[in-house]
Structure 1
């Protein structure tokens, strides 16, 4: 794998971004940008409780949405009308793409980014690089602003506390996760019920289930998005944390010596390599997430790892009686440090307001509208998932998959884990994607896999040009 050189010029970045959408390229600009204050791009009008950021009522607003699992209808049908009701003179331009980095990285390099970006998906821009270059608007004023619904309630009081923790870079809250991503193993409740298959609670039970499904000849036991192996390193990392405790992931995030080669990581990597060797659906390595998920909808494979966006992403191909369900990773041994039901959850579908956009005031106001209970509740119902706004799902009709995921996260309670290295260090994410693909196809042994990732982490740790973050 070739890494982006650290001495790339801004002109080269502009010329090459459309051809090489590398996650860390933005950080490689020749001269790091100074951090811009909130008013750097537009002089605000008078502020008030109703207009806490000083939004100019008639100034245009440009919003870019990642066209992924949640689609784009929510932006056009829920968020835009809510904003326009308050600012009818504002012209709102909503655009979408699956290639966030390829399309928008040149806009940052050219000094004219849009005002709001849903920076999500496999080709999202590197948040660590954006933060290092001073490209992210400080969203602290958003947290302390009155909520859209009730001026006596601050926005921060509506949010899951993890939103602020995960969205803070170098002491500055700059990334708003809008969805509570709930990760696990997804399956058809109907298929399991019809075949008498039980949700496994131990790793031995999981292996026996895979063997039973394989021998049945009805479908393959397991698959993942082979072209996007981050779908597989998610359960690998979560299992390691379950075995060894949340500090396993904290140590990886903090670039601690030997964090990737710790014993829980070795056990988890070996376990998933066995799944890759014995139980994968044929052709998995060459398929993307939609292809593997559609194969599941066609009853060609029983289980796959994904997050709580899955049900909505597959709504056009899912049989009416499919009945999505999600279960947490099984206990690896009886001595796991975290109990059965432990989940990886994380605020996701990450929105940013570029510091050098033309209208950062309206950008923050757009996010404030998104965080109203109506907007968040309508969003949750439309896209069959759970938002980060407390109480937004109350009284809403949840689909089978969303209900299953919500039940799992309620049962998990405080037993949740997360990791941040993949958004902090784009080069490490690139290496993990490539190496995990090789692990699952037998190109790397578990030990060589972890040694490769440790080597890359050590390189980043020793590179003074890369901004370091810490949990």
Structure 2
């Protein structure tokens, strides 16, 4: 099978999601496979315009939401909408920080939640459960709470990332822009220029060290943020050849020259002493606070969720701003302004849930205008729903900078999915923590990552997805 990239749709979605919104004022395997896709509406549910999935009257919706950078308040908000529109219903929103560990017993036991935000470092590899998930096409074909067909209110290209073998099983709710984040005010004060290459970053590290600061830092659960940055850099440097080799788990993919050049550039920074030590023993939000509140290091690679995640631990006047990920040379195949961006926070509805219709109704509420505006306003991030962000980004410098990043990238926007698809992040964290703390070489980093990819590629029990 293959997933065919659709450049025009992806470009329209990724570029348009924030860019167009500026001009619109705000008004291993789990359970053995279960047959998926057959809708199992709760007994007694009556289908109507106000209840398109036949959610049973006075029923309960069990929602498990990853508690990360976006928190869970936005999901609670959506739950209240369900309770209001489906009078007598109850939505139970439960936070989880380790989705796979928390929910594996429930999948095995045949009693998964009705709807899940499958996100975070320890998400469930979607490839292991996709046969057990509902087709979400009826959700986007239904009318939203404002009476409009949902798919007509979404940015183009949002369905493809969650579609496997022609089945749409994962609704990616949040538009995520990946960048290298910094304090514009700190850079202005010191007269620093944001680096565009690894050599420039190395030179900036020396300037930061002279001011008693480090260039980079990390926390143990987020060590692979540097993998994300490295892959983004390598794709910009080497183009689709790099992306497709990684996506398809090709033999020797981590040894491609653009990847090796990026690893070498990062290793120089580590060996020069510009990476704040101790990250492998530091909880990731504590490490991030060392950046956003204490300014102990000056650059941090992350997704657009970072502002909301650190909103109570950010120094006043910090002016959080994103910059494109580094390249190795000035002659990279994609321009330096090219951007890694995609829809994230993957929502799924298990077919064995007790209230499948309720799970879909929860997603319908989340895709309403009110819920999408609430998300953008409270998390400083955009959903896949159009027309929810004002020109001032609700006062967020980070959100405004995401718009500028997308505008600067134009059509040069890319992404990849193999890490989440095969659930590789947990194993990769070990390799990256060792590398970032200076205890392994580029060769050892490469060998460790290749071993993880090879294990999946050579496992005949894992169904592979070929990306072209």
Among 344, 350, 358, the residue aligned to 1:354: 350
Among 150, 171, 178, the residue aligned to 1:176: 171
1:47-68: per-residue Cα shift (whole Å, max 9, x none)?
3443321222322111112121
- DSSP 3-state at the match of 2:301: strand
- DSSP 3-state at the match of 1:408: helix
The 2-side partners of 1:105 and 1:37 are apart by 20
1:44–1:53 contact (8 Å) kept in structure 2: no
Change (3 A) 1:398 1:57: farther
Change (3 A) 1:277 1:163: farther
The 2-side partners of 1:83 and 1:364 are apart by 11
The 1-side partners of 2:435 and 2:44 are apart by 53
Q: Paired residue for 2:85? A: 86
Change (3 A) 1:289 1:390: same
Q: Paired residue for 2:245? A: 251
Mean CA deviation greater in 400-409 or 308-317: 400-409
1:276-331: per-residue Cα shift (whole Å, max 9, x none)?
22210122222232011110111211111111111111111112211111111233
1:267 is the counterpart of 2:261: yes
1:379 is the counterpart of 2:378: no
The 2-side partners of 1:188 and 1:422 are apart by 29
The 2-side partners of 1:258 and 1:375 are apart by 45
2:242–2:258 contact (8 Å) kept in structure 1: yes
Q: Paired residue for 1:234? A: 228
- DSSP 3-state at the match of 2:383: coil
1:327–1:408 contact (8 Å) kept in structure 2: yes
- DSSP 3-state at the match of 1:306: strand
1:221–1:281 contact (8 Å) kept in structure 2: yes
1:346–1:418 contact (8 Å) kept in structure 2: yes
- DSSP 3-state at the match of 1:349: strand
Q: Paired residue for 2:305? A: 309
The 1-side partners of 2:300 and 2:437 are apart by 16
- DSSP 3-state at the match of 1:326: strand
1:41–1:356 contact (8 Å) kept in structure 2: no
1:337-367: per-residue Cα shift (whole Å, max 9, x none)?
0002112112112211111101111111110
Among 441, 446, 449, the residue aligned to 2:442: 446
1:285–1:437 contact (8 Å) kept in structure 2: yes
1:343 is the counterpart of 2:339: yes
Mean CA deviation greater in 198-207 or 32-41: 32-41
1:150 is the counterpart of 2:144: no
Among 460, 463, 467, the residue aligned to 1:464: 460
1:421–1:429 contact (8 Å) kept in structure 2: no
The 1-side partners of 2:44 and 2:121 are apart by 35
Runs (5+) with no aligned partner, structure 1: 1-23
The 1-side partners of 2:90 and 2:203 are apart by 58
The 2-side partners of 1:341 and 1:354 are apart by 39
2:202–2:268 contact (8 Å) kept in structure 1: no
Please give the TM-score of this superposition, normalised by the length of structure 1.
0.88
1:224–1:305 contact (8 Å) kept in structure 2: no
The 1-side partners of 2:458 and 2:47 are apart by 45
Mean CA deviation greater in 288-297 or 45-54: 45-54
1:434 is the counterpart of 2:430: yes
- TM-fit CA distance, 1:439: 2.4
The 2-side partners of 1:99 and 1:202 are apart by 35
- DSSP 3-state at the match of 1:163: coil
Q: Paired residue for 2:182? A: 187
Q: Paired residue for 2:15? A: none
Deviating beyond 6 angstroms after TM superposition, the runs of 4 or more aligned structure 1 residues are: none
Among 346, 355, 362, the residue aligned to 1:366: 362
Give the superposed CA RMSD: 1.9
1:418-471: per-residue Cα shift (whole Å, max 9, x none)?
111111212x43332222222223333223322332233233222211111122
The 2-side partners of 1:277 and 1:425 are apart by 32
1:196 is the counterpart of 2:187: no
The 1-side partners of 2:34 and 2:92 are apart by 28
1:145-165: per-residue Cα shift (whole Å, max 9, x none)?
2233233xx322322334312
Runs (5+) with no aligned partner, structure 2: 1-27
1:207 is the counterpart of 2:202: yes
- TM-fit CA distance, 1:41: 6.1
The 1-side partners of 2:181 and 2:97 are apart by 23
The 2-side partners of 1:453 and 1:81 are apart by 43
Change (3 A) 1:227 1:55: closer
Matched pairs, number? 437
The 2-side partners of 1:445 and 1:197 are apart by 30
Which structure has more relative contact order (CA 8 Å, sep 6+)? It is 2
Q: Paired residue for 2:18? A: none
